[in-house]
Amino acid sequence: MVHEPAVPFLEIEAVRAKEFVPAAKEALTALLAEQGHQKVVQPVFNWAGRNSLFPLHWGLACCAIEFAAAFGARWDAERFGVVPRSSPRQCDLMIVNGTVTWKVAHKLVTLYEQMPEPKWVIAMGNCATGGGPFRTAYSVVPGVDKLVPVDVYIAGCPPRPEAMLDGILVLEKLIRERKE
C-alpha cells in the first residue's frame, strides 16, 4: 500500500515558490545593498572554491607517482574536495608534478590558458620549483614560474603525498584570504 505524504510534494513546492524564494531574495538584496557585493559574495565564492579544487589530471615525471598515490585509499585527497579532472576547461588548479622540459613547455602553457579563471598553480617537487637535479640541462626549464605564475611551492625529490596535501591546504588558506 502506498502512503500519501501528509503534505503533498507539489504543495510544499508551491509554498516554497510563493513564500520562501521571494523572502530569501529580498533578504539577500537588502544584505547586498547594506554591505556591498564584495563583502557578501566574495567570502561565499572563496569558501566554495577552496572546498572544491579540481586539479588537472596529468603527470610529468616521477613526482606524478606521488600525485597519483595522494588520491589513493591511504591518503584520500578527495576528502578535501580535491577531484582531478581530465579536461583543463573543468580545472582550476594545475599541480606541476615533475620535470618540465622546453619541449613540453608550450603544451603546459596551452593547458594553463585553457583553464578558466580563477586558477592556481602548485609547483610540486624540486624539478617544478627550480629544475631539480636537471637544472643545468639544456633541455630543462629551470622552474615552472618561468612559464606560468606559481602560487605554492612544495619542496622535495619527490615530495611525499602528505607534502602535496599540505601544499593544497596552504593554497586553501590563500584562497580563503583572497579579496577578488
Using CB under 6 A, list all residues that contact ligand SF4. Answer: 61-63, 98-99, 125-127, 132-133, 157-158
Q: How far is the CB of 165 from ligand SF4 (least distance, A)?
A: 16
- Of 61 and 175, the one with the shorter C-beta distance to ligand SF4 is 61
From residue 89, alpha-carbon distances to 72, 84, 141 in Å are: 24, 12, 25
What does the alpha-carbon distance between residue 23 and residue 46 come to, in Å, rounded to a whole number? 25
- Of 46 and 99, the one with the shorter C-beta distance to ligand SF4 is 99
Q: How far is the CB of 69 from ligand SF4 (least distance, A)?
A: 12
- Of 132 and 161, the one with the shorter C-beta distance to ligand SF4 is 132
Pull the grid cell for residue 25: 531574495
Q: How far is the CB of 126 from ligand SF4 (least distance, A)?
A: 4
- Of 123 and 175, the one with the shorter C-beta distance to ligand SF4 is 123
Pull the grid cell for residue 76: 584520500
Cβ atoms within 10 Å, residue 49? 19
CA dihedral 152, 155, 159, 162 (to 10 degrees): -60
